[in-house]
């Protein structure tokens, strides 16, 4: 029986067109033990997605390591809320306020030194839950969900901003300060995936404080990206990814193990392998289904066949007298 310990983990990046996966092994000096990539024919068909995940599972090998799945579907946004001093009940109040005021039903707690941040993730919650179940059906164990910007932040060093082009029509920009500050999904028009562009140009992080509206977040991040990622600032060389203290080897962009392909999957695997400190599961406050008000007469069942007790009729005075009169013998 295979022994799984700290340092063993599987990371998956899941998009509408392709799924990428890596396996980290504690006994591998470079941590990365296997990497693969599988296309998805029809994302809206569960059988097609499941088929791609099963193929990915087979190519990664028979490892029973825990798994983290990173995704950030189109239309997703992420911003942080400082909850350093809040208690459990106060955290629940904050989550409820995010749900009622901003429509955010997914949150995750992340510790950053003495600070604690609540990351509000606005995305398609039923879709995320559906994909999580498909990953479990494919044979992966101990499955957990990661927003892709959070997974990517685990392997980037000294980067202030990054753009990830994961697949056709699926990109995101994220502002970083060790952990994500804010992130917005974009369509990536005009760019060739997969790719990763980073920038170390300084950005005023205070510009993102209090921004919760998706349009405001997108406008502010686009303004920052215009300077840091789109060529107005001096281009920064592609730095090596940091795999929990071990530098990821340099591979050409076409290699299946290259940072341009596996950066997000590697970040998810670092979390699954227990190399990123304490991680909490993402909390989804899915709306409950309202009970139907239609009458259901067919739900009435016969409880017992025993007849109902009938109350005896009162005896009249004439009948009482007749009982006292002796009968004549014949």
Q: Using the predicted structure, report yes or no on whether residue 101 has a pLDDT greater than 60.
A: yes
Print the SS3 string covering the chain: CCCCCCCCEEEEEECCCEEEEEEECCCCCCCEEEEEEEECCCCCCHHHHHHHHHHHHHHHCCCCCEEEEEECCCCCEEEEEECCCCCHHHHHHHHHHHHHHHCCCEEEEEEECCEEEEEEEECCHHHHHHHHHHHHHCCCEEEEEEEHHHHHHCCCCCCCEEEEEEECCEEEEEEEECEEEEEEEECCCCCCCCEEEEECCCCCHHHHCCCCCHHHHHHHHHHHHHHHCCCCCCCCCCCCCEECCEECCCCCCCCCCCHHHHHHHHHHHHHHCCCCCCCCCCEECCCCCCCCCCCCHHHCCCCCCCCCCCCCCCCCHHHHHHHHCCCCCC
Q: Using the predicted structure, report yes or no on whether residue 210 has a pLDDT greater than 60.
A: yes
If one compares 238 and 114, the residue with the highest pLDDT of the two is 114
* CATH classification number, 9-277, choose in 3.10.310.70, 3.20.20.370, 3.30.420.380, 3.30.70.20: 3.30.420.380
Residue-level pLDDT at 189 = 85
Q: Which of 109-113, 142-146, 323-327 has the lowest mean pLDDT?
A: 323-327
Q: Using the predicted structure, report yes or no on whether residue 209 has a pLDDT greater than 90.
A: no
Residue-level pLDDT at 285 = 79
Q: Using the predicted structure, report yes or no on whether residue 317 has a pLDDT greater than 80.
A: no
Average pLDDT over residues 5-24: 95
Report the chain's mean pLDDT, rounded to a whole number.
87
Average pLDDT over residues 256-284: 93
Q: Give the pLDDT band of residue 229 (cuts 50, 70, 90).
A: confident
Average pLDDT over residues 7-18: 96
Residue-level pLDDT at 151 = 97
Average pLDDT over residues 101-124: 93
Q: Using the predicted structure, report yes or no on whether residue 279 has a pLDDT greater than 80.
A: yes
If one compares 296 and 69, the residue with the highest pLDDT of the two is 69
Q: pTM score, two decimals?
A: 0.83
Q: Using the predicted structure, report yes or no on whether residue 256 has a pLDDT greater than 80.
A: yes
Residue-level pLDDT at 296 = 52
Q: Using the predicted structure, report yes or no on whether residue 35 has a pLDDT greater than 60.
A: yes
Q: Give the pLDDT band of residue 5 (cuts 50, 70, 90).
A: confident
Residue-level pLDDT at 292 = 43
Q: Using the predicted structure, report yes or no on whether residue 157 has a pLDDT greater than 70.
A: yes
Residue-level pLDDT at 158 = 87
């Amino acid at each position: 029986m295979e022994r799984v310990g700290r340092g063993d983990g599987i990371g998956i990046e899941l998009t509408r067109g392709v799924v990428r996966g890596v396996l980290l092994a504690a006994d591998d000096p470079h941590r990365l033990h296997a990497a693969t990539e599988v296309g998805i024919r029809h994302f809206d068909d569960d059988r097609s997605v499941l088929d791609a995940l099963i193929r990915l599972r087979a190519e990664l090998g028979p490892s029973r390591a825990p798994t983290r799945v990173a995704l950030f579907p189109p239309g997703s946004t992420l911003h942080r809320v400082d909850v350093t001093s809040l208690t459990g009940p106060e955290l629940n109040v904050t989550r409820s306020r995010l749900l009622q005021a901003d429509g955010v039903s997914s949150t995750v707690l992340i510790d950053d030194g003495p600070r604690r941040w609540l990351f509000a993730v606005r995305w398609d919650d039923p879709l995320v839950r559906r994909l999580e179940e498909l990953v479990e059906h494919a044979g992966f164990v101990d499955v957990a969900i990661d927003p892709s910007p959070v997974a990517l932040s685990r392997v980037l060093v000294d980067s202030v901003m990054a753009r990830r082009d994961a697949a056709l029509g699926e990109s995101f920009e994220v502002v970083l300060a060790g952990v994500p500050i804010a992130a917005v999904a974009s369509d990536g028009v005009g760019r060739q995936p997969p790719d990763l562009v980073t920038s170390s140009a300084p950005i005023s992080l205070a510009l993102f404080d209090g921004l919760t509206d998706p349009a405001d977040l997108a406008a502010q991040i686009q303004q920052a990206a215009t300077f840091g990622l789109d060529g107005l600032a001096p281009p920064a060389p592609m730095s090596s990814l940091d795999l929990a203290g071990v530098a990821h080897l340099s591979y050409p962009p076409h290699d299946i193990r290259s940072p341009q392909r596996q950066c997000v999957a590697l970040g998810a695997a670092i979390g699954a392998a227990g190399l990123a400190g304490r991680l909490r599961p993402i909390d989804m406050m899915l709306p409950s289904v309202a009970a139907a008000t239609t009458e259901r007469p067919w739900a009435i069942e016969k409880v017992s066949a025993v007849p109902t007790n009938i109350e005896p009729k009162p005896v009249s005075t004439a009948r009482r007298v007749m009982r006292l009169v002796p009968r004549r013998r014949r």
